[in-house]
Amino acid sequence: MKEKISFKNDYSEGAHPRILELLAQTNLQQEPGYGYDSLSEQAKAAILRFLNDQETPIYFVAGGTQANLLVISHLLKPYESIIAAESGHIHVHETGAIEATGHKINTVPQSNGKLTPDNILKVISLHTDEHMVKPAMLYISQTTELGSIYSKEELQELSDLCKEHNLKLFIDGARMAAALSSDQHQLRLNDIAQYADVFYIGVTKNAGLLGEAIVFPNAQLAEGFSYSLKQKGALMAKGRILGAQFLALFEDDLYFELGKHANQQAMRIATALEDAGFRFALQPESNQLFPILPHQVIERLLEDFEFYVWEKLDAGESIVRIVTSWATNPTDVDRFIAKINGLKTKQVSQG
């Protein structure tokens, strides 16, 4: 049986070769444990090159759910809650990780995967006394779980709203690479640092074996964070593994280049689908595409490719999710496009 090409997600492969090389090169260096190793130190310096404030505290952890539960439990008082979209990863796909640290998530309807000021203000206006939790933080994902991207203007607006209502703004950047490599939005890492009180930069979905860098532009919020890391089981004895990922990806522009590659391959697919006359559930912006395809088309594509059927619609159609990554081979995309064109031609010739 031939191996199918997978567009299921952006963490199917290992790591960019430079990371493995760096691990090998430094393997027998004796290093201090628990994050005080020289690789982590250099990795922090490498990230800081992209930020204005050189005193910004940075911590490395292994994964996204870990980063989310750490930041939220570190910053909220017991009776404080966090506002998130109904489609937010912390609400839907983290097995109650946030609630397990004692905090309620106030969900608001999403629009194109994003939170809107109106919906946030509704939640705030409902929470007025001690019989309800006190919203104290806003959680957004950039890119969102649905592949959409908050523009600078949208981020500014949310940031202003947060300041006015005394909410901390926390940005989940598991797919930050895709957001910062979009042609439509000229976003840079330092922009994110302008708007967020705390955010993280994920590499697991962009060429790292593991790792999220938690960044505190609001530096005083980081006080005691190393204690939280240890308490929640997130402080790695050999911090060098995490350091190596970020050092290799941020000592030059590799992280952003790989993000751009993923986006470009996605756009090639998106264009082919559009040309073939298919609609999208969400406008393509990054490395996650949500085209609406007839079941016949889906069946034919699944003969050679793997991807998720996201949501069944009426009338013989479904939304599917197609994901590209840093490792997506352009020739695999060629094949996918050829297949689509083949189907189109066939439809035309049948028509």
Q: Which two tokens stand for residue 156?
A: 């500014």
Type of residue numbered 329: N
Quick one: which of 28, 54, 125, 315 contacts a copy of itself (CB under 8 A)?
28
Under the criterion CB under 8 A, does residue 95 sit at the interface with a copy of itself? yes
Per CB under 8 A, which of residues 200..219 are in contact with a copy of itself?
204-205, 209-210
C-alpha distance from residue 181 to each of 93, 250, 254, 287 (Å): 25, 14, 11, 10
Name the DSSP letter for residue 221. G
CB of 32 to a copy of itself, least distance (A): 8
Under the criterion CB under 8 A, does residue 100 sit at the interface with a copy of itself? yes
Stretch that binds a copy of itself, among 41-49, 125-133, 137-145, 177-185 (CB under 8 A): 125-133
Under the criterion CB under 8 A, does residue 240 sit at the interface with a copy of itself? yes
Residue 224, number of CB atoms within 10 A of its CB: 9
Under the criterion CB under 8 A, does residue 103 sit at the interface with a copy of itself? yes
Decide: 35 and 214 in contact? Cβ < 8 Å.
no
Quick one: which of 23, 51, 155, 289 contacts a copy of itself (CB under 8 A)?
23
Nearest to 184 by CA among 148, 146, 141, 140: 148
C-alpha distance from residue 90 to each of 48, 70, 135 (Å): 27, 12, 15
Quick one: which of 49, 52, 93, 341 contacts a copy of itself (CB under 8 A)?
93
Q: 95 or 350: whose CB is closer to a copy of itself? A: 95
Is the C-alpha dihedral spanning 59, 65, 71, 74 positive or negative?
A: negative
CB of 231 to a copy of itself, least distance (A): 4
Query: Which three-class secondary structure state does DSSP give residue 111?
Result: strand
Quick one: which of 40, 228, 286, 287 contacts a copy of itself (CB under 8 A)?
228
CB of 101 to a copy of itself, least distance (A): 8
Nearest to 207 by CA among 5, 7, 13: 13
Quick one: which of 38, 41, 48, 99 contacts a copy of itself (CB under 8 A)?
99
Under the criterion CB under 8 A, does residue 96 sit at the interface with a copy of itself? yes
Per CB under 8 A, which of residues 29..88 are in contact with a copy of itself?
29-34, 62-70, 73-74, 77-79, 81
CB of 184 to a copy of itself, least distance (A): 27
**Binding-site string for a copy of itself from residue 253 to residue 282, where x marks contact by CB under 8 A and - marks none:** ------------------------------
Give dist(CA 312, CA 293) in Å, integer: 10
Under the criterion CB under 8 A, does residue 232 sit at the interface with a copy of itself? yes
CA 205-268-255 angle, 5° bins: 30
Size of residue set near a copy of itself by CB under 8 A: 74
Query: Which three-class secondary structure state does DSSP give residue 81?
Result: strand
Nearest to 25 by CA among 38, 41, 12, 11: 38
Under the criterion CB under 8 A, does residue 27 sit at the interface with a copy of itself? yes
